Amino acid sequence: MRHLYTNFPYPPEVHDVVKLFFTDAELCDSPEFADIVLTEKQEKGRYVYRAAMGEICSEQSFEPFSDELQTTRLRKRYAKLATYNLLTSVTGKKMPWGSLTGIRPTKLAEQLSREGLDWRKTFVDVLGVSKEKTQLVADIFATQGSLRNRKSGSADLYVGIPFCVSRCSYCSFTSGEIERLKKYVEPYVEALKQDIKKTLQFARNNSITIQNVYFGGGTPTSLSAKQLDEVMDCIDVTPVEYTVEAGRPDTIDEDKLSVLKAHGVQRLSVNPQTFNQSVLDVIGRRHTVQDIYEKYALAKQYGFVVNMDLIAGLPTETYEMFCYSVDCAIRLQPENITVHTLALKHGSKLKEQGYLSEANVEKMVNYSHDAFCKAGYAPYYMYRQKYMAQNLENVGYCKSGKACLYNIGIMEELSDILACGTNAISKRVLTNENRIERAANAKDVITYIQRNEEYLEKKFQLFC
Ligand code: SF4
Protein backbone atom coordinates (compact mmCIF):
# COMPACT_ATOMS: atom_id res chain seq x y z
CA MET A 1 0.00 0.00 0.00
CA ARG A 2 1.20 3.52 -0.86
CA HIS A 3 0.57 6.47 1.42
CA LEU A 4 0.04 9.98 0.18
CA TYR A 5 0.58 13.07 2.28
CA THR A 6 -0.39 16.51 1.10
CA ASN A 7 -0.55 19.99 2.63
CA PHE A 8 -2.75 20.94 -0.33
CA PRO A 9 -6.35 21.69 0.81
CA TYR A 10 -8.06 19.45 -1.77
CA PRO A 11 -6.41 16.04 -1.18
CA PRO A 12 -9.18 13.87 -2.76
CA GLU A 13 -8.37 15.27 -6.22
CA VAL A 14 -4.69 14.35 -5.85
CA HIS A 15 -5.59 11.01 -4.30
CA ASP A 16 -7.60 10.20 -7.45
CA VAL A 17 -4.48 10.71 -9.58
CA VAL A 18 -2.38 8.47 -7.31
CA LYS A 19 -5.04 5.75 -7.53
CA LEU A 20 -4.60 5.65 -11.31
CA PHE A 21 -1.15 4.21 -10.65
CA PHE A 22 -1.55 2.53 -7.25
CA THR A 23 -5.12 1.32 -6.70
CA ASP A 24 -4.54 0.72 -2.98
CA ALA A 25 -3.20 4.24 -2.27
CA GLU A 26 -4.38 5.92 0.93
CA LEU A 27 -4.14 9.40 2.36
CA CYS A 28 -2.08 9.82 5.51
CA ASP A 29 -1.57 12.62 8.06
CA SER A 30 2.16 12.84 8.29
CA PRO A 31 4.88 13.32 5.64
CA GLU A 32 7.07 11.09 7.79
CA PHE A 33 5.10 7.94 6.92
CA ALA A 34 4.23 8.88 3.37
CA ASP A 35 5.57 7.37 0.13
CA ILE A 36 4.33 10.31 -1.93
CA VAL A 37 4.48 13.87 -0.61
CA LEU A 38 2.76 16.76 -2.33
CA THR A 39 3.34 20.28 -1.06
CA GLU A 40 1.83 23.55 -2.13
CA LYS A 41 3.49 26.89 -1.37
CA GLN A 42 3.39 30.45 -2.63
CA GLU A 43 6.67 31.78 -3.93
CA LYS A 44 7.28 35.08 -5.66
CA GLY A 45 3.57 35.52 -6.32
CA ARG A 46 3.16 32.03 -7.82
CA TYR A 47 1.56 28.84 -6.53
CA VAL A 48 4.22 26.12 -6.57
CA TYR A 49 3.52 22.37 -6.35
CA ARG A 50 6.21 19.84 -5.57
CA ALA A 51 5.39 16.14 -5.71
CA ALA A 52 8.11 13.81 -4.48
CA MET A 53 8.64 10.10 -4.10
CA GLY A 54 12.05 9.32 -2.61
CA GLU A 55 14.65 11.08 -4.71
CA ILE A 56 12.35 11.66 -7.68
CA CYS A 57 10.29 14.83 -7.80
CA SER A 58 8.20 16.95 -10.14
CA GLU A 59 7.36 20.64 -9.90
CA GLN A 60 4.63 22.80 -11.42
CA SER A 61 3.69 26.41 -10.82
CA PHE A 62 1.30 29.11 -12.01
CA GLU A 63 0.49 32.75 -11.38
CA PRO A 64 -2.90 33.19 -9.66
CA PHE A 65 -5.81 35.00 -11.32
CA SER A 66 -7.81 37.77 -9.67
CA ASP A 67 -10.87 35.49 -10.03
CA GLU A 68 -10.88 33.27 -6.94
CA LEU A 69 -12.88 30.46 -8.55
CA GLN A 70 -10.47 30.33 -11.46
CA THR A 71 -7.49 30.23 -9.11
CA THR A 72 -9.01 27.36 -7.12
CA ARG A 73 -9.54 25.47 -10.36
CA LEU A 74 -5.92 25.99 -11.36
CA ARG A 75 -4.62 24.99 -7.93
CA LYS A 76 -6.33 21.63 -8.35
CA ARG A 77 -5.21 21.27 -11.95
CA TYR A 78 -1.51 21.99 -11.23
CA ALA A 79 -1.39 19.89 -8.04
CA LYS A 80 -2.75 16.93 -10.02
CA LEU A 81 -0.36 17.59 -12.84
CA ALA A 82 2.74 17.65 -10.59
CA THR A 83 1.57 14.37 -9.06
CA TYR A 84 0.81 12.78 -12.44
CA ASN A 85 4.20 13.75 -13.86
CA LEU A 86 5.94 12.36 -10.79
CA LEU A 87 4.14 9.02 -11.03
CA THR A 88 4.74 8.79 -14.78
CA SER A 89 8.47 9.17 -14.10
CA VAL A 90 8.40 6.64 -11.28
CA THR A 91 6.35 3.95 -13.04
CA GLY A 92 7.08 4.66 -16.71
CA LYS A 93 3.30 4.45 -17.33
CA LYS A 94 1.15 7.01 -19.13
CA MET A 95 -2.64 7.23 -18.86
CA PRO A 96 -4.87 7.82 -21.91
CA TRP A 97 -6.47 10.81 -20.19
CA GLY A 98 -3.24 11.97 -18.55
CA SER A 99 -3.86 13.79 -15.27
CA LEU A 100 -7.60 14.22 -15.90
CA THR A 101 -9.74 12.40 -13.35
CA GLY A 102 -13.41 12.79 -12.48
CA ILE A 103 -13.92 15.48 -15.08
CA ARG A 104 -15.91 15.79 -18.27
CA PRO A 105 -13.26 16.38 -20.92
CA THR A 106 -15.62 18.30 -23.19
CA LYS A 107 -16.47 20.68 -20.34
CA LEU A 108 -12.81 21.19 -19.59
CA ALA A 109 -12.08 21.85 -23.27
CA GLU A 110 -14.78 24.53 -23.25
CA GLN A 111 -13.45 25.99 -20.03
CA LEU A 112 -9.91 26.18 -21.43
CA SER A 113 -11.21 27.91 -24.56
CA ARG A 114 -12.97 30.45 -22.33
CA GLU A 115 -9.66 31.02 -20.54
CA GLY A 116 -8.23 31.94 -23.94
CA LEU A 117 -6.16 28.75 -24.26
CA ASP A 118 -5.81 26.37 -27.20
CA TRP A 119 -7.58 23.44 -25.55
CA ARG A 120 -6.09 20.78 -27.87
CA LYS A 121 -2.55 21.93 -27.18
CA THR A 122 -3.23 22.19 -23.43
CA PHE A 123 -4.70 18.68 -23.38
CA VAL A 124 -1.67 17.13 -25.07
CA ASP A 125 1.26 19.28 -23.90
CA VAL A 126 0.17 20.26 -20.40
CA LEU A 127 -2.34 17.71 -19.13
CA GLY A 128 -0.76 14.63 -20.70
CA VAL A 129 -3.90 13.53 -22.62
CA SER A 130 -3.14 11.23 -25.58
CA LYS A 131 -3.60 12.56 -29.10
CA GLU A 132 -6.29 9.93 -29.76
CA LYS A 133 -8.41 10.99 -26.78
CA THR A 134 -7.94 14.66 -27.69
CA GLN A 135 -9.21 13.84 -31.18
CA LEU A 136 -12.17 11.98 -29.64
CA VAL A 137 -13.19 15.17 -27.81
CA ALA A 138 -12.88 17.17 -31.04
CA ASP A 139 -15.00 14.57 -32.91
CA ILE A 140 -17.70 14.72 -30.22
CA PHE A 141 -17.87 18.52 -30.49
CA ALA A 142 -18.20 18.16 -34.26
CA THR A 143 -21.08 15.63 -33.99
CA GLN A 144 -22.90 17.66 -31.36
CA GLY A 145 -22.66 20.97 -33.24
CA SER A 146 -25.81 22.99 -32.66
CA LEU A 147 -27.38 20.17 -30.59
CA ARG A 148 -25.47 21.66 -27.64
CA ASN A 149 -27.73 24.72 -27.75
CA ARG A 150 -30.52 24.72 -25.18
CA LYS A 151 -33.66 26.81 -25.34
CA SER A 152 -33.77 29.21 -22.41
CA GLY A 153 -36.62 28.55 -19.99
CA SER A 154 -36.62 24.86 -20.85
CA ALA A 155 -35.87 21.71 -18.85
CA ASP A 156 -35.85 17.97 -19.41
CA LEU A 157 -38.02 15.64 -17.34
CA TYR A 158 -36.42 12.54 -15.84
CA VAL A 159 -38.58 9.75 -14.42
CA GLY A 160 -36.84 7.05 -12.37
CA ILE A 161 -38.14 3.51 -11.95
CA PRO A 162 -35.95 1.88 -9.31
CA PHE A 163 -36.83 -1.77 -9.97
CA CYS A 164 -35.07 -4.52 -11.92
CA VAL A 165 -35.85 -8.18 -12.52
CA SER A 166 -32.49 -9.27 -11.10
CA ARG A 167 -29.36 -7.52 -9.95
CA CYS A 168 -26.39 -7.41 -12.31
CA SER A 169 -23.16 -8.15 -10.51
CA TYR A 170 -21.45 -4.92 -11.65
CA CYS A 171 -24.35 -2.64 -10.67
CA SER A 172 -24.19 -0.20 -7.78
CA PHE A 173 -27.45 1.62 -8.46
CA THR A 174 -30.01 1.74 -5.70
CA SER A 175 -32.46 -0.29 -7.78
CA GLY A 176 -33.96 -3.36 -6.14
CA GLU A 177 -35.28 -6.67 -7.41
CA ILE A 178 -38.94 -6.18 -8.20
CA GLU A 179 -40.00 -9.55 -6.83
CA ARG A 180 -38.43 -8.75 -3.45
CA LEU A 181 -39.97 -5.26 -3.34
CA LYS A 182 -43.35 -6.39 -4.67
CA LYS A 183 -45.42 -4.79 -1.90
CA TYR A 184 -43.88 -1.37 -2.56
CA VAL A 185 -44.39 -1.30 -6.32
CA GLU A 186 -48.00 -0.07 -6.32
CA PRO A 187 -47.41 2.58 -3.60
CA TYR A 188 -44.33 3.68 -5.55
CA VAL A 189 -46.32 4.04 -8.76
CA GLU A 190 -48.90 6.14 -6.88
CA ALA A 191 -46.24 8.39 -5.32
CA LEU A 192 -44.49 8.76 -8.67
CA LYS A 193 -47.72 9.75 -10.42
CA GLN A 194 -48.23 12.52 -7.85
CA ASP A 195 -44.61 13.59 -8.22
CA ILE A 196 -44.90 13.83 -12.04
CA LYS A 197 -48.26 15.64 -11.99
CA LYS A 198 -47.09 18.22 -9.45
CA THR A 199 -43.74 18.67 -11.18
CA LEU A 200 -45.39 19.32 -14.55
CA GLN A 201 -47.88 21.68 -12.92
CA PHE A 202 -44.95 23.53 -11.33
CA ALA A 203 -43.23 23.72 -14.74
CA ARG A 204 -46.39 25.20 -16.27
CA ASN A 205 -46.82 27.73 -13.46
CA ASN A 206 -43.23 28.86 -13.90
CA SER A 207 -43.23 28.91 -17.71
CA ILE A 208 -40.69 26.07 -17.95
CA THR A 209 -41.04 24.17 -21.20
CA ILE A 210 -40.32 20.45 -21.06
CA GLN A 211 -38.06 19.64 -23.99
CA ASN A 212 -37.19 15.97 -23.55
CA VAL A 213 -38.60 13.19 -21.39
CA TYR A 214 -36.44 10.28 -20.25
CA PHE A 215 -37.51 7.20 -18.28
CA GLY A 216 -34.49 5.57 -16.64
CA GLY A 217 -33.78 3.35 -13.69
CA GLY A 218 -33.43 0.57 -12.78
CA THR A 219 -35.45 -0.89 -15.56
CA PRO A 220 -38.62 1.08 -16.39
CA THR A 221 -40.08 -1.88 -18.27
CA SER A 222 -39.91 -4.02 -15.14
CA LEU A 223 -43.28 -2.36 -14.37
CA SER A 224 -46.36 -3.98 -15.90
CA ALA A 225 -47.96 -2.55 -19.05
CA LYS A 226 -50.81 -1.24 -16.90
CA GLN A 227 -48.48 0.50 -14.45
CA LEU A 228 -46.47 2.03 -17.30
CA ASP A 229 -49.70 3.25 -18.87
CA GLU A 230 -50.79 4.89 -15.60
CA VAL A 231 -47.44 6.62 -15.09
CA MET A 232 -47.25 7.80 -18.70
CA ASP A 233 -50.79 9.14 -18.52
CA CYS A 234 -49.39 11.78 -16.15
CA ILE A 235 -47.01 13.12 -18.82
CA ASP A 236 -49.40 15.70 -20.25
CA VAL A 237 -46.79 17.49 -22.38
CA THR A 238 -45.53 16.72 -25.88
CA PRO A 239 -41.76 16.59 -25.67
CA VAL A 240 -39.36 16.95 -28.59
CA GLU A 241 -37.81 13.63 -27.64
CA TYR A 242 -39.27 10.82 -25.53
CA THR A 243 -37.00 7.99 -24.44
CA VAL A 244 -37.45 4.88 -22.31
CA GLU A 245 -34.45 2.94 -21.15
CA ALA A 246 -36.03 -0.51 -21.29
CA GLY A 247 -32.61 -1.99 -20.75
CA ARG A 248 -33.27 -5.61 -19.98
CA PRO A 249 -34.57 -7.53 -22.98
CA ASP A 250 -36.39 -9.94 -20.65
CA THR A 251 -38.73 -7.12 -19.55
CA ILE A 252 -39.90 -6.16 -23.04
CA ASP A 253 -43.14 -7.52 -24.50
CA GLU A 254 -45.74 -6.46 -27.05
CA ASP A 255 -48.17 -5.08 -24.46
CA LYS A 256 -45.55 -2.76 -23.00
CA LEU A 257 -44.30 -1.64 -26.41
CA SER A 258 -47.89 -0.83 -27.44
CA VAL A 259 -48.28 1.30 -24.32
CA LEU A 260 -45.02 3.16 -25.01
CA LYS A 261 -45.99 3.72 -28.62
CA ALA A 262 -49.45 4.99 -27.66
CA HIS A 263 -47.85 7.54 -25.35
CA GLY A 264 -45.54 8.89 -28.05
CA VAL A 265 -42.27 7.27 -26.92
CA GLN A 266 -39.82 7.42 -29.82
CA ARG A 267 -36.63 5.93 -28.45
CA LEU A 268 -35.90 2.73 -26.56
CA SER A 269 -32.80 1.11 -25.09
CA VAL A 270 -32.41 -2.62 -25.53
CA ASN A 271 -29.17 -3.30 -23.72
CA PRO A 272 -27.24 -6.49 -24.44
CA GLN A 273 -24.06 -5.50 -22.48
CA THR A 274 -22.53 -8.53 -24.22
CA PHE A 275 -23.52 -11.00 -26.95
CA ASN A 276 -21.73 -13.85 -25.18
CA GLN A 277 -24.13 -16.09 -23.26
CA SER A 278 -21.50 -17.32 -20.81
CA VAL A 279 -20.76 -13.71 -19.80
CA LEU A 280 -24.47 -12.86 -19.44
CA ASP A 281 -24.75 -15.83 -17.06
CA VAL A 282 -21.72 -14.73 -15.03
CA ILE A 283 -23.01 -11.16 -14.55
CA GLY A 284 -26.48 -12.29 -13.46
CA ARG A 285 -28.52 -10.85 -16.33
CA ARG A 286 -30.92 -13.82 -16.48
CA HIS A 287 -31.71 -13.37 -20.16
CA THR A 288 -30.36 -15.03 -23.24
CA VAL A 289 -28.59 -13.75 -26.33
CA GLN A 290 -31.64 -14.97 -28.27
CA ASP A 291 -33.81 -12.61 -26.15
CA ILE A 292 -31.66 -9.69 -27.29
CA TYR A 293 -32.24 -10.52 -30.97
CA GLU A 294 -35.96 -11.17 -30.52
CA LYS A 295 -36.69 -8.05 -28.44
CA TYR A 296 -34.62 -5.87 -30.72
CA ALA A 297 -36.62 -7.13 -33.71
CA LEU A 298 -39.85 -6.45 -31.80
CA ALA A 299 -38.76 -2.90 -30.90
CA LYS A 300 -37.96 -2.29 -34.56
CA GLN A 301 -41.38 -3.63 -35.62
CA TYR A 302 -42.88 -0.88 -33.47
CA GLY A 303 -40.64 1.68 -35.16
CA PHE A 304 -38.51 2.71 -32.17
CA VAL A 305 -35.12 4.34 -32.54
CA VAL A 306 -32.97 1.90 -30.57
CA ASN A 307 -29.90 2.33 -28.40
CA MET A 308 -27.79 -0.67 -27.35
CA ASP A 309 -25.33 -0.59 -24.45
CA LEU A 310 -22.18 -2.71 -24.34
CA ILE A 311 -19.68 -2.95 -21.47
CA ALA A 312 -15.92 -3.38 -21.91
CA GLY A 313 -14.14 -5.23 -19.09
CA LEU A 314 -16.88 -7.65 -17.93
CA PRO A 315 -15.68 -10.71 -16.00
CA THR A 316 -14.57 -13.62 -18.22
CA GLU A 317 -15.02 -11.60 -21.43
CA THR A 318 -11.79 -11.64 -23.42
CA TYR A 319 -10.75 -9.13 -26.06
CA GLU A 320 -11.92 -11.46 -28.83
CA MET A 321 -15.27 -12.01 -27.13
CA PHE A 322 -15.78 -8.27 -26.71
CA CYS A 323 -14.95 -7.68 -30.38
CA TYR A 324 -17.56 -10.31 -31.25
CA SER A 325 -20.16 -8.36 -29.21
CA VAL A 326 -19.25 -5.15 -31.03
CA ASP A 327 -19.57 -6.89 -34.40
CA CYS A 328 -22.97 -8.39 -33.45
CA ALA A 329 -24.26 -4.96 -32.42
CA ILE A 330 -23.08 -3.43 -35.69
CA ARG A 331 -24.80 -6.17 -37.71
CA LEU A 332 -28.11 -5.24 -36.08
CA GLN A 333 -27.62 -1.58 -37.02
CA PRO A 334 -29.33 0.15 -34.08
CA GLU A 335 -29.29 3.93 -34.39
CA ASN A 336 -27.24 4.36 -31.19
CA ILE A 337 -24.63 2.18 -29.51
CA THR A 338 -23.04 3.12 -26.19
CA VAL A 339 -19.83 1.56 -24.95
CA HIS A 340 -19.33 1.69 -21.21
CA THR A 341 -16.08 0.87 -19.53
CA LEU A 342 -16.69 -1.27 -16.45
CA ALA A 343 -16.75 1.00 -13.39
CA LEU A 344 -17.05 -0.86 -10.11
CA LYS A 345 -18.47 1.27 -7.35
CA HIS A 346 -19.28 0.42 -3.76
CA GLY A 347 -22.47 -1.55 -3.54
CA SER A 348 -21.79 -3.79 -6.55
CA LYS A 349 -21.27 -7.52 -6.03
CA LEU A 350 -18.12 -7.52 -8.11
CA LYS A 351 -16.59 -4.76 -5.99
CA GLU A 352 -17.38 -6.69 -2.82
CA GLN A 353 -15.75 -9.75 -4.34
CA GLY A 354 -12.63 -7.66 -5.06
CA TYR A 355 -12.90 -8.20 -8.83
CA LEU A 356 -10.22 -6.51 -10.90
CA SER A 357 -10.51 -6.61 -14.67
CA GLU A 358 -7.45 -8.23 -16.17
CA ALA A 359 -8.57 -7.73 -19.75
CA ASN A 360 -6.93 -5.10 -21.91
CA VAL A 361 -9.90 -2.76 -21.73
CA GLU A 362 -8.11 0.00 -23.57
CA LYS A 363 -7.62 -2.31 -26.56
CA MET A 364 -11.33 -3.22 -26.41
CA VAL A 365 -12.41 0.41 -26.31
CA ASN A 366 -10.09 1.24 -29.21
CA TYR A 367 -11.50 -1.65 -31.26
CA SER A 368 -15.08 -0.50 -30.67
CA HIS A 369 -14.22 3.08 -31.61
CA ASP A 370 -12.61 2.05 -34.90
CA ALA A 371 -15.32 -0.49 -35.74
CA PHE A 372 -18.20 1.93 -35.08
CA CYS A 373 -16.60 4.77 -37.02
CA LYS A 374 -15.95 2.39 -39.94
CA ALA A 375 -19.61 1.28 -39.82
CA GLY A 376 -20.86 4.88 -40.13
CA TYR A 377 -21.41 5.76 -36.47
CA ALA A 378 -19.93 8.91 -34.91
CA PRO A 379 -19.13 9.53 -31.23
CA TYR A 380 -21.65 12.05 -29.88
CA TYR A 381 -21.30 12.16 -26.10
CA MET A 382 -18.88 10.96 -23.52
CA TYR A 383 -18.50 10.89 -19.78
CA ARG A 384 -16.01 9.56 -17.36
CA GLN A 385 -16.59 8.23 -13.87
CA LYS A 386 -14.45 7.31 -10.93
CA TYR A 387 -13.33 3.70 -10.70
CA MET A 388 -13.48 3.10 -14.47
CA ALA A 389 -11.30 0.27 -15.68
CA GLN A 390 -7.96 1.66 -16.81
CA ASN A 391 -9.18 5.24 -16.40
CA LEU A 392 -11.09 5.17 -19.68
CA GLU A 393 -14.48 6.57 -20.70
CA ASN A 394 -18.06 5.83 -21.76
CA VAL A 395 -18.89 6.90 -25.29
CA GLY A 396 -22.23 7.11 -27.07
CA TYR A 397 -22.13 6.57 -30.85
CA CYS A 398 -24.91 7.48 -33.22
CA LYS A 399 -25.86 7.27 -36.83
CA SER A 400 -26.15 10.61 -38.58
CA GLY A 401 -29.05 12.69 -37.22
CA LYS A 402 -29.91 10.15 -34.50
CA ALA A 403 -28.15 11.58 -31.45
CA CYS A 404 -30.13 11.43 -28.20
CA LEU A 405 -30.72 15.04 -27.09
CA TYR A 406 -31.37 14.09 -23.48
CA ASN A 407 -28.02 12.31 -23.26
CA ILE A 408 -26.14 15.30 -24.65
CA GLY A 409 -27.94 17.65 -22.27
CA ILE A 410 -27.34 15.60 -19.14
CA MET A 411 -23.87 14.28 -19.84
CA GLU A 412 -22.52 17.62 -20.95
CA GLU A 413 -24.36 19.34 -18.10
CA LEU A 414 -26.18 21.68 -20.48
CA SER A 415 -29.82 21.06 -19.47
CA ASP A 416 -31.86 21.82 -16.41
CA ILE A 417 -33.46 18.62 -15.19
CA LEU A 418 -36.71 18.20 -13.29
CA ALA A 419 -36.41 14.73 -11.84
CA CYS A 420 -39.13 12.48 -10.43
CA GLY A 421 -38.73 9.20 -8.57
CA THR A 422 -36.34 7.53 -6.17
CA ASN A 423 -32.73 8.64 -6.30
CA ALA A 424 -33.51 11.08 -9.09
CA ILE A 425 -31.56 14.33 -9.03
CA SER A 426 -33.00 17.61 -10.27
CA LYS A 427 -30.41 20.03 -11.62
CA ARG A 428 -30.25 23.68 -12.39
CA VAL A 429 -27.39 24.73 -14.64
CA LEU A 430 -26.28 28.26 -13.76
CA THR A 431 -24.26 28.90 -16.89
CA ASN A 432 -23.27 32.47 -16.06
CA GLU A 433 -21.94 31.43 -12.67
CA ASN A 434 -20.35 28.29 -14.11
CA ARG A 435 -21.96 26.04 -11.52
CA ILE A 436 -24.79 23.56 -11.03
CA GLU A 437 -27.26 23.32 -8.17
CA ARG A 438 -28.88 20.02 -7.36
CA ALA A 439 -31.79 18.66 -5.35
CA ALA A 440 -31.79 14.91 -4.79
CA ASN A 441 -34.85 12.81 -4.06
CA ALA A 442 -34.80 10.07 -1.43
CA LYS A 443 -32.44 7.25 -2.27
CA ASP A 444 -34.74 4.44 -1.19
CA VAL A 445 -38.25 3.56 -2.21
CA ILE A 446 -39.80 3.61 1.27
CA THR A 447 -38.50 7.08 2.20
CA TYR A 448 -39.54 8.36 -1.21
CA ILE A 449 -43.10 7.12 -0.74
CA GLN A 450 -43.33 8.49 2.82
CA ARG A 451 -41.72 11.89 2.27
CA ASN A 452 -42.69 12.69 -1.31
CA GLU A 453 -44.03 16.17 -0.45
CA GLU A 454 -40.83 17.19 1.29
CA TYR A 455 -38.71 16.26 -1.73
CA LEU A 456 -41.11 18.02 -4.09
CA GLU A 457 -40.64 21.20 -2.06
CA LYS A 458 -36.84 20.90 -2.27
CA LYS A 459 -37.08 20.44 -6.05
CA PHE A 460 -39.31 23.47 -6.47
CA GLN A 461 -37.04 25.62 -4.29
CA LEU A 462 -34.23 24.86 -6.72
CA PHE A 463 -36.13 26.49 -9.57
CA CYS A 464 -37.62 29.41 -7.65
S1 SF4 B 1 -30.52 -3.76 -15.20
FE2 SF4 B 1 -29.29 -1.91 -14.96
S3 SF4 B 1 -30.03 -0.93 -13.09
FE4 SF4 B 1 -30.80 -3.02 -13.09
S5 SF4 B 1 -29.32 -4.21 -11.90
FE6 SF4 B 1 -28.71 -4.36 -14.06
S7 SF4 B 1 -27.31 -2.69 -14.39
FE8 SF4 B 1 -28.36 -2.26 -12.48
The answer as to whether 188 is a domain residue is yes
The answer as to whether 464 is a domain residue is no
The answer as to whether 143 is a domain residue is no
Distance 341 CA to ligand 1 centre (A): 15
124 and 192 share a domain?
A: no
Q: Which of 75, 109, 138 is the last residue of a domain?
A: 138
DSSP-assigned states of every residue in 244-269: EEEE-GGG--HHHHHHHHHTT--EEE
pLDDT at 205: 97
Domain of 107, in residue numbers: 96-138
Verify whether ligand 1 is closer than 6 Å to residue 171 (CB atom): yes
Q: Which of 85, 112, 138 is the last residue of a domain?
A: 138
107 and 87 share a domain?
A: no
Q: Which atom of ligand 1 is the closest one to the Cα of 247?
A: 1
Residue-wise pLDDT tens digits, 150-206: 888 999 999 999 999 998 998 887 678 898 999 999 999 999 999 999 999 999 999
pLDDT at 24: 84
pLDDT at 85: 96
Q: Residue 55: which H helix or E strand, with range?
A: none
Distance (Å, whole) CA 171 – CA 345: 8
Residue-wise pLDDT tens digits, 68-93: 888 998 999 999 999 999 999 999 99
Distance (Å, whole) CA 331 – CA 424: 35
The answer as to whether 366 is a domain residue is yes
Verify whether ligand 1 is closer than 6 Å to residue 272 (CB atom): no
The answer as to whether 229 is a domain residue is yes
283 and 403 share a domain?
A: yes
Q: Residue 169 maps to which CATH number?
A: 3.80.30.20
278 and 341 share a domain?
A: yes
Q: Are 220 and 185 in contact (CB under 8 A)?
A: no
Distance 177 CA to ligand 1 centre (A): 9
The answer as to whether 145 is a domain residue is no
Nearest CA to ligand 1 atom 8: 171
338 and 400 share a domain?
A: yes
The answer as to whether 257 is a domain residue is yes
Pocket test for ligand 1, best of 172, 173, 283, 285 (most atoms within 8 A of CB): 173
Distance (Å, whole) CA 41 – CA 47: 6
Stretches where the chain sits below pLDDT 50 are none
330 and 306 share a domain?
A: yes
374 and 283 share a domain?
A: yes
Distance 285 CA to ligand 1 centre (A): 8
108 and 39 share a domain?
A: no
Beta-strand (E) ranges in 148-279? 154-161, 163-164, 176-177, 209-217, 241-247, 267-270
pLDDT at 151: 86
Q: Residue 15 maps to which CATH number?
A: 3.90.950.10
Distance 346 CA to ligand 1 centre (A): 14
Q: Are 404 and 398 in contact (CB under 8 A)?
A: yes
Domain count, the chain: 3
290 and 419 share a domain?
A: yes
305 and 381 share a domain?
A: yes
105 and 88 share a domain?
A: no
pLDDT at 403: 98
Q: Which of 138, 160, 193 is the last residue of a domain?
A: 138
Pocket test for ligand 1, best of 161, 163, 165, 167 (most atoms within 8 A of CB): 167
The DSSP 8-state label assigned to residue 234 in this structure reads T
Verify whether ligand 1 is closer than 6 Å to residue 167 (CB atom): yes
40 and 111 share a domain?
A: no
The answer as to whether 342 is a domain residue is yes
Verify whether ligand 1 is closer than 6 Å to residue 342 (CB atom): no
